[in-house]
Structures are given as C-alpha cells and as structure tokens.
Amino acid sequence: MTHILVTGGAGFIGSHVTSALLAANHDVSVLDCAHPAAHREPPPAPDGAILHRADVRDRGAVRAALRGVDAVVHQAALVGLGAGPDDLPEYVGCNDLGTAVLLAAMSEAGIRRLVLASSMVVYGEGAYRCERHGPVRPTPRDADDLAAGRFEPSCPHCRQPLTAGLVAEDAPVDPRSVYAATKVAQEHLTAVWARECDASVAALRYHNVYGPRMPRDTPYSGVAAIFRSALAGGRAPRVYEDGGQVRDFVHVGDVAAANVAALGAGRGFRAYNVASGRPTTVGDMAGLLADAFGGPRPVVTGQFRLGDVRHVVASPARAAAELGFRAAVPPADGLREFACAPLRG
C-alpha cells in the first residue's frame, strides 16, 4: 500500500481516479481548490480520501498535502479551449505555474513518482498521409476555408486531400489553443524534472473523456457533456462543422484504470495515449446520445471554432505494451449509459 496525492481529486476525472486508487488499496489524499470554472459548488472528496481544500499554486498548502505521500497523480487543471485572450493568465497560472509549484515541493519532499494528466490536444491535428508526399503535418485550417465548408485539411505541399491515420506518442507536438499550449508546457516541465531528479513521469494523453459526474454545460465541458446537457434541456445537440470530425471517446472508468496502471511506469518521462482504440465521428456520437436519451435529433450547424482540429485518432499500443492498460468500455455501450447518467452541477 502506498499513499497517493491526487491534485484536482474532487473533479470529474479526479474523483474517479481517487475512487480507483482507493479500490486498489492505496491511501489517498486530495488537493482541490474547487475552482469555479469546474465546480458550481465545492464538491466533497470521495469517501475514504483526506481532503485538502487549497490551490495547487499555494506552496505552503502543497508542502502540507505532500507529507507522508509516496507518489502524486496530477489532475488539477483548467480544461477546454478557453473563451479568449483574457483566459491566458488563469490558464497559465493554474496549469503551468501550478505544476511548477508542485514539482518544486515534490523535489523538496523527496517524492519521485508522478502521473500527469495530459491531453491529445498536444498533437494539434492527428496523423495524416498524402498520396503523393507521404506522411505530412497539415497547417492550421484557414478561417475562409472553414466558413466555406471546406473542413478537411489538405496537404501543405500540393493542397490535395489527405488520409487520416493513427497518431502515436512520438508525433511532434503542435498546440493550437491556449489549453493545448499549457499541456505541452506541463509535459516539458515534468520531463526536465524527471531528468534532473532521476524521477518517473507518466504523461497520460487523454482523448475525449466522458462518463458519469461530468460537469453540466459550461465553456469548459467536453463535447459529450455539452450534447448531454442539451438533451436534458429538451434541445437538439448542435454539431459543429459537418459532424465528420473523428475522435476517440474513452470512458472515465477506463481513464481512472490507466492512472492506477501508470503508477508502475519506469524512470524518466514517458507519454501514453489513453484512448478506447475505437474512434467515431462527433456526428455519430451525438446521434447515439440522442437515440439513447430519446431526445431531439442533432442539428449539424456548419459553425466552427478556429482552435478545433479535424481528426485526432490515437494508437493505444504503447499503453497496452508498457502499462498493461487496455480500455474495457466500448464507446457505443458507454455512451448509451452516459445518455442517462447524472451530470454534476
């Protein structure tokens, strides 16, 4: 048995991770500030966990929470694309300064094992191949193309259509939003820390997480929660672009299991995709939720957000080979369950 500190452990993913660690017979403490972007009301920690109500940027509070701790699972972060440039200081503060404070305190306490909640957004677009030029990295999509309904990225060399494939952890990072940039920075900070302290960092690049206790419709919710909230309000889910964006939707229970498995990762920094391995389009996901809920059919709007990417489909092979993690919940089954699952206020 070991003592694990989970930052953000009262949040959506963090609470499931905390419960999974408790079920695996770990002692668990939670550090959570109940940030208003994630919580309308301060949530309790899962039963059996010790709660420290504090911000990860508070050095004194972090030092206190780390007493007696053997490893840290770092979930605390602001998520989502953000509302605009005004969000920059809070995103960088919560995600990057918070991580730096945590790493400094861990070094001081002699704690050398970290599991980091990262994200597939670090990749930007996923993996693509041009028939003529082979593997290519498409440039960010142009606003004029998107407004004209040309949603698919093209080859940066010949402008011909591309074929999307599986993105692996060795793909170059290419952040295309403030949130993505802070996640890349977190990975870089923890990689330096692992090298300098001879420590272990497993950076789990979550794909599109969904499941019970997701927050209700806010600018920071995932697309699954936004659609689910619309259905609960009697409204049709509004699908951006043409609904053909491909994502990998992974159940929060599987994400929690991946965190438990990642505590056994080796020394040094290593990134892992956490995905179901069964991709689907956003339009199909919205339709499945609507059918299961018994609500109005989705509306495809043609609207777009410049920070969005078209296709991100993961290879889960590394996590399976090195951590023994394989997602157990098929998205079709999990999304049907999620259609009627309670959301968090």
DSSP 48: T
Does residue 42 have a pLDDT over 70?
A: no
Give the pLDDT score at 218: 63
Only one residue has tokens 């309904």, namely 149
Q: State pLDDT tens for residues 290-331.
A: 999 999 999 999 999 887 889 999 999 999 999 999 999 999
d(CA 20, CA 11) in angstroms, rounded, equals 14
DSSP 90: H
Q: Taking residues 78-85, what's their average pLDDT?
A: 72
State the pLDDT confidence band at 79, using cuts at 50, 70 and 90. confident
Query: What 3-state class would DSSP assign to 80?
Result: coil
Beta-ladder partners of 78: none
Beta-ladder partners of 73: 6, 115
Q: Is 173 exposed, middle or buried (0-12, 13-18, 19+ CB in 10 A)?
A: middle
Q: State pLDDT tens for residues 90-144.
A: 999 999 999 999 999 999 999 999 999 999 999 999 999 999 999 999 988 999 9
Give the pLDDT score at 345: 64
Tokens at residue 7, please? 């930052």
CATH topology of domain 3-126+167-340: Rossmann fold (3.40.50)
d(CA 172, CA 33) in angstroms, rounded, equals 33
The two beta strands, 71-74 and 163-167, are unpaired
Query: What 3-state class would DSSP assign to 200?
Result: strand
Q: State pLDDT tens for residues 180-209.
A: 999 999 999 999 999 999 999 999 999 999
Does residue 216 have a pLDDT over 80?
A: no
Write down the H helix ranges in the chain. 12-23, 59-65, 88-91, 98-109, 143-147, 178-197, 223-232, 252-262, 282-293, 317-323, 331-338
Query: What 3-state class would DSSP assign to 341?
Result: coil
Distance of CA 212 to the CA centre of its chain: 15
d(CA 294, CA 308) in angstroms, rounded, equals 29
The residues annotated as belonging to the active site are: 179
Beta-ladder partners of 115: 73, 202
State the pLDDT confidence band at 87, using cuts at 50, 70 and 90. confident
Contact 24/91 with Cβ under 8 angstroms?
no
For the CA atoms of the chain, what is the radius of gyration?
Answer: 20
Does residue 46 have a pLDDT over 90?
A: no
Tokens at residue 142, please? 């142009």
Phi, psi torsion values for 166, nearest 5 degrees: -85, 130
Give the pLDDT score at 104: 98
Query: What 3-state class would DSSP assign to 331?
Result: helix
Query: What 3-state class would DSSP assign to 40?
Result: coil
Where in the chain are all domains bearing CATH 3.40.50.720? Answer: 3-126+167-340
Q: Is 207 exposed, middle or buried (0-12, 13-18, 19+ CB in 10 A)?
A: buried
